[in-house]
Amino acid sequence: MAKDFSTRAENYSKWYNDIVQRAELAENSAVRGCMVIKPYGYAIWENMQAALDKMFKDTGHSNAYFPLFIPKSFFSKEADHVEGFAKECAIVTHYRLKNDPEGKGVVVDEDAKLEEELIIRPTSETIIWDTYRNWIQSYRDLPILVNQWANVVRWEMRTRMFLRTAEFLWQEGHTAHATKQEALEETHQMLDVYADFAENHMAIPVLKGIKSENERFAGAVETFCIEALMQDGKALQAGTSHFLGQNFAKAFDVKFASKEGKLEYVWASSWGVSTRLVGALIMAHSDDNGLVLPPKLAPVQTVIVPIYKTEEQRRIVSEKAVEIKNRLEKLGVRVKFDDRDTHKPGWKFNEYEFKGVPVRIAIGPRDVENGTVEVARRDILKKEIIANDQLDQTVLSLLDDIQHTLFRRALAFREENTRTADSWEEFKQILDEKGGFILAHWDGTAETEQKIKDETKATIRCIPLDDDKESGKCVFTGKPSEKRVVFARAY
Amino acid sequence: MAKDFSTRAENYSKWYNDIVQRAELAENSAVRGCMVIKPYGYAIWENMQAALDKMFKDTGHSNAYFPLFIPKSFFSKEADHVEGFAKECAIVTHYRLKNDPEGKGVVVDEDAKLEEELIIRPTSETIIWDTYRNWIQSYRDLPILVNQWANVVRWEMRTRMFLRTAEFLWQEGHTAHATKQEALEETHQMLDVYADFAENHMAIPVLKGIKSENERFAGAVETFCIEALMQDGKALQAGTSHFLGQNFAKAFDVKFASKEGKLEYVWASSWGVSTRLVGALIMAHSDDNGLVLPPKLAPVQTVIVPIYKTEEQRRIVSEKAVEIKNRLEKLGVRVKFDDRDTHKPGWKFNEYEFKGVPVRIAIGPRDVENGTVEVARRDILKKEIIANDQLDQTVLSLLDDIQHTLFRRALAFREENTRTADSWEEFKQILDEKGGFILAHWDGTAETEQKIKDETKATIRCIPLDDDKESGKCVFTGKPSEKRVVFARAY
């Protein structure tokens, strides 16, 4: 592989950007902080969407669509929410342009000023709960289990493709329930769906836990999350599921008549994952030869590259290649036969290796004669000659094996990079020399977490959901603690 | 069916709104001109998306995603485009809110004013062609066949759910080609895809044609369209495919090196359909008993309603219903078993009739004993008793038959309501008394079309693509004409 791009060791951040660019996943646009998601990157997102959407529907949810715009006043209705979301946002103030009287293109028509400014949704709790008020009268109208696939905008000052952009794509589930118990169960269920998706589709092991107060969603009673570890030892929050209590029901006056005929406020959850998962996918598996994709999410699972010199060879090889393509597609494999004559086989090998295609099949005239093909796997960069009549089974088991190998590799990496720290010195040393997850005791106060963050840039990624209680002393203040929490520097 | 909603004859416009509301398709939101698409309405759109997306991919297109925001200056680069699109639009001028110093919620932070205003995309030609400039160097980079599923905003003053809303959902294809011929072929191909979708999925016959200059897309050389006829005799433009020539390539300086090494401007097409198709679907088939849906797009194709009195009957009936549901789902039918005990069978019958579910299966204890079920079809409101062992075949052929019956009915309606007019009196009389499509001669000038529109509100829906030439005289000016064109009042 040509070495005109960065390795992880040389410059992790540049390595990431090089992959995004050279694998044609995305690029910066003319609009500050907004990216263009290119076809190959978008195809990964489409595969994520398809898998998640099925999981949402299998758990009883339906999709709907709510307005892009939110009246400014809606944000002020929930006190915490306004602090968290109504600050760095895109604000629509006018609804008409007119020809510039001086002849220079178009200018804003000051006569077309909105009475109340509209905010481009940074998240939709407010507009959705304003809508739910009309949907809910009685317990018979509950639960409401709705999801939305949409674009949202948060005016981030420092952006990075997929990981943090001003506009991004996501899904946001918004559910309404008659009881606290049911809303909590929903919150947990969707956290499990996210963990299942991360581990079994993205091949990324995740920790499930609760966010500390500092990292909680603005407006939530409790935020649950899944946290993944990237190859540079930084954590990445891969999904959140919020128990909103009755906060939004109270802010938007959403009550229901219970079976007993009493008027009560509705209980809520919301949950979301976004295109930042594409960034996590890139960073979790890729290597110094480019992108590595788990087969379940790869836009192309198997590429066929023909090798020939003469036109006659081309004809024979292509015929075989098409036959193989059809066979594999019948088995449900996403196959591409790259028969372009504008590029040489070697160039194509590099191209698909860099783009992370899990399995590559090369076939030349000798192979056709011998009834063989060359099969290469991207994860461990090995290849072998396979008899044509064993190819179907080989490809299927390779795809399965690559999916599991990537997960095991990521899991081993996380285990190697999860350490306990029992003193402040040890904590700082691990963070600076090794990174990764640090299990440490914490006194439970927002103040201490803030001080640790100020000094080290590490935050509490989550308070693990498991029941491993252990008495100890806060790594920073020495005050008593009942349980270790997970610290890390994070994306 | 309870008659507390309007019939078509009483008040067509109210009938439409009643269906949208009572079938739970959509509702107005707190934001002027923006609607909430409710789960049942959104599920219809999802079915449309799935079918169209497959057709786009089968014809070689990929999806991508471009920014929601377009810098204001981009609109001024294509002279016609700015006139058509950069007027009634949502304009982002600021990127931050702050706490109101007077303590009343949040206000716009005047310090956070954008240097250049951003327009919420009304259509994406400009931002996409600004992007394509970097994607295209040589003929090897062509064609580019990209589609985007997105939300767009046009600040319409008079809105109607699905048919005309400030924000709507759509897809927009944007392709780039090396030759005029290839771009024109693409434009025609996508028009054919839309016509195929309209006729074979929506069960709505459409006329294919070319738009007159007055109705042409702002920035296009030629706009092709499919036109459908609604039950009130008004036309509805159901999809457009634009041949853009080199207009946007020139505006955004997009050139490629040809095989001969010459630098040339790229040729373009764009094409789109939107959530207004849901409005067309409602108006084309529904009747005075509510929504009628073609099976291919119906969120629920078959509903099973259990009938019972005792708990024992309920158990027996449910067991049979679940068995039927599983059997039909295995055949690929979208089935709902409504086993709610909060509503009576009669209520459910009305509900699903109103919501346009194509096939209803009712099953009671007697049916279980006799090995029968009652099967009702929504399109012609007929029901019959079927032996259980013939049910699978019956449902499959009913779904197929309903799909075709709806198309034939719509086609017959269109044929009855397509008339020729050879004088101005006749033209006005047909329009006022009958509506529908009018085939009339036109002198080919924008001026005459405008005058006809001013006097009658009718416009040229399209110049048909067929080759039926016929000499005649313009119905308005008496000047010579070579071909009849299609006039109608339109949505």
Long-range contacts of B133-139 (CB under 8 A, 24+ apart): B133/B252, B133/B253, B133/B254, B134/A27, B135/B176, B136/B176, B136/B254, B136/B255, B136/B256, B136/B266, B137/B256, B137/B257, B138/B256, B138/B257, B139/B178, B139/B256, B139/B257, B139/B258, B139/B259
Rounded distance, CA B389 to CA A72, Å? Answer: 60
Q: Does residue B352 register a pLDDT over 60? A: yes
**Contact B106/A86, CB-based, under 8 Å?**
yes
**In this structure, what token pair is assigned to residue B402?**
């309903």
Fold of A12-285: BirA Bifunctional Protein; domain 2 (3.30.930)
In degrees rounded to 5, what are phi and psi of residue A87?
A: -105, -70
Instruction: Judge if the upstream peptide bond of residue A306 is cis by omega within 30 degrees of 0.
Output: no
Where exactly are the structural domains of chain A?
Answer: 12-285, 302-401, 418-488
Query: In percent, how much of chain B has pLDDT > 90?
Result: 92
What's the mean pLDDT when you consider all of chain A? 96
3-state helix, strand, coil in chain A (%, to 5): 35, 30, 35
With beta carbons under 8 A apart, name residues in chain A contacting B259.
none
- Summarised one tens digit per residue, pLDDT across range B290-305 is 999 999 999 999 999 9
With beta carbons under 8 A apart, name residues in chain B contacting A92.
90-93, 120
Q: Nearest by CB to A106, which of B64, B72, B150?
A: B72
- Summarised one tens digit per residue, pLDDT across range A232-253 is 999 999 999 999 999 999 999 9
Task: Summarize the confidence of residues B416-436 as an average pLDDT.
Answer: 97
Q: What does the pLDDT read at residue A469?
A: 87
Rounded distance, CA B313 to CA A247, Å? Answer: 44
Burial A441-476 (b: 16+ CB within 10 A, else e): bbbbbeebbeebbeebebbbbbbbeeeeeeebbbbb
Q: What does the pLDDT read at residue A167?
A: 97
Any bridge partners for residue A239, and if so which? A226
* Distance from the A101 Cα atom to the nearest Cα atom in chain B, whole angstroms: 14
**Contact B95/A89, CB-based, under 8 Å?**
yes
**Contact B90/A69, CB-based, under 8 Å?**
yes
CATH code matching the domain that covers A302-401, chosen among 3.40.50.920, 3.40.50.800, 3.20.20.140, 2.40.50.140: 3.40.50.800
Spatial neighbors of B80 by CB under 8 A, at least 6 apart, are: B218, B219, B247
With beta carbons under 8 A apart, name residues in chain B contacting A34.
67-69
Three-state DSSP class for residue A232: coil
**Contact A151/B151, CB-based, under 8 Å?**
yes
Q: Does residue B3 register a pLDDT over 90? A: no
**Contact B151/A68, CB-based, under 8 Å?**
yes
Please tell me whether the interface predicted TM-score (ipTM) of this complex is above 0.90.
yes
Q: Does residue B286 register a pLDDT over 60? A: yes
CATH architecture of B12-69+124-285: 2-Layer Sandwich (3.30)
Query: In percent, how much of chain B has pLDDT > 70?
Result: 99
**Contact B29/A93, CB-based, under 8 Å?**
no
**Contact A69/B94, CB-based, under 8 Å?**
no
**Contact A93/B88, CB-based, under 8 Å?**
no
- Name the pLDDT band for B313 (thresholds 50, 70, 90): very high
With beta carbons under 8 A apart, name residues in chain B contacting A140.
342
- Summarised one tens digit per residue, pLDDT across range A145-175 is 999 999 999 998 889 999 999 999 999 999 9
Rounded distance, CA B196 to CA B206, Å? Answer: 9
Q: What does the pLDDT read at residue A485?
A: 97
Q: How far is Cα of residue A160 from the mean position of the Cα atoms in its chain?
A: 14
Tell me how far CA of residue B237 lies from CA of B105, B187, B227, in angstroms.
44, 16, 5
Spatial neighbors of B471 by CB under 8 A, at least 6 apart, are: B480, B481, B482
Task: Summarize the confidence of residues B42-50 as an average pLDDT.
Answer: 98
* Distance from the A120 Cα atom to the nearest Cα atom in chain B, whole angstroms: 9
List the single best residue of A69, A98, A131, A141 to mutate versus B (max B Cβ within 10 A). A69
Per mean pLDDT, which range of A90-94, B3-7, B52-56, B330-334 is the poorest?
B3-7
- Summarised one tens digit per residue, pLDDT across range A35-91 is 999 999 999 999 999 999 999 999 999 999 999 999 999 988 887 777 777 689 999
Give yes or no for A108 touching B (CB within 8 A): yes
Q: Does residue B2 register a pLDDT over 50? A: no
Per DSSP, A389 falls in state G
Burial class of residue B389 (count of CB atoms within 10 Å of its CB; 0-12, 13-18, 19+) = exposed
- Name the pLDDT band for A451 (thresholds 50, 70, 90): very high
Give yes or no for A79 touching B (CB within 8 A): no
Helix H segments across A63-147?
A: 72-75, 79-85, 125-135
Q: Does residue A132 register a pLDDT over 70? A: yes
- SS3 track for chain B: CCCCCCCCCCCHHHHHHHHHHHCCCEEECCCCCCEEECHHHHHHHHHHHHHHHHHHHHCCCEECECCCEEEHHHHCCCHHHHHHHCCEEEEEEEEEEEECCCCCCEEECCCCEEEEEEEECCCCHHHHHHHHHHHCCEHHHCCEEEEEEEEEECCCCCCECCCECCEEEEEEEEEEECCHHHHHHHHHHHHHHHHHHHHHCCCCCCEEEECCHHHCCCCCCEEEEEEEECCCCCEEEEEEEEEEECHHHHHCCCEEECCCCCEEECEEEEEEEECHHHHHHHHHHCECCECCCCCCCCCCCEEEEECCCCHHHHHHHHHHHHHHHHHHHHCCCCEEECCCCCCCHHHHHHHHHHCCCCEEEEECHHHHHHCEEEEEECCCCEEEEEEHHHHHHHHHHHHHHHHHHHHHHHHHHHHHCEEECCCHHHHHHHHHHCCCEEEEECCCCHHHHHHHHHHHCCEEEEEECCCCCCCEECCCCCCEECCEEEEECEC
- Name the pLDDT band for A2 (thresholds 50, 70, 90): very low
Which of B349, B334, B254 lies closest to B300 in space, CA to CA? B334
With beta carbons under 8 A apart, name residues in chain A contacting B38.
64
Rounded distance, CA B216 to CA B214, Å? Answer: 6
In degrees rounded to 5, what are phi and psi of residue B134?
A: -85, -15
- Summarised one tens digit per residue, pLDDT across range B360-407 is 999 999 999 999 999 999 999 999 999 999 999 999 999 999 999 999
CATH architecture of B302-408: 3-Layer(aba) Sandwich (3.40)
Give yes or no for A411 touching B (CB within 8 A): no
Tell me how far CA of residue A244 lies from CA of A62, A266, A446, in angstroms.
20, 10, 20
With beta carbons under 8 A apart, name residues in chain B contacting A74.
30
**Contact A97/B75, CB-based, under 8 Å?**
yes
- Summarised one tens digit per residue, pLDDT across range B454-468 is 999 999 999 999 878
Name the residue of chain B whose CA is nearest to A97's CA.
B87
Q: Nearest by CB to B118, which of A31, A45, A127?
A: A31
Q: Nearest by CB to B65, which of A70, A96, A169?
A: A169
Pairing of β A418-420 and β A437-441: parallel
Q: What does the pLDDT read at residue B434?
A: 95
Report chain A's terminal Cα–Cα distance, integer Å. Answer: 29
Stated as kind and residue range, the H or E segment containing A52 is helix A39-58
Per DSSP, A266 falls in state P
**Contact A105/B73, CB-based, under 8 Å?**
yes
Domains B12-69+124-285 and B302-408 share a fold: no
**Contact B73/A39, CB-based, under 8 Å?**
no
- Name the pLDDT band for A3 (thresholds 50, 70, 90): low
With both helix axes pointing from N to C terminus, report the angle between A39-58 and A276-285 in degrees, rounded to the nearest 10: 110
Stated as kind and residue range, the H or E segment containing A56 is helix A39-58
Q: Does residue A1 register a pLDDT over 50? A: no
Give yes or no for A70 touching B (CB within 8 A): yes
Rounded distance, CA B491 to CA B489, Å? Answer: 7
CATH class of A418-488: alpha beta
With both helix axes pointing from N to C terminus, report the angle between B39-58 and B276-285 in degrees, rounded to the nearest 10: 110
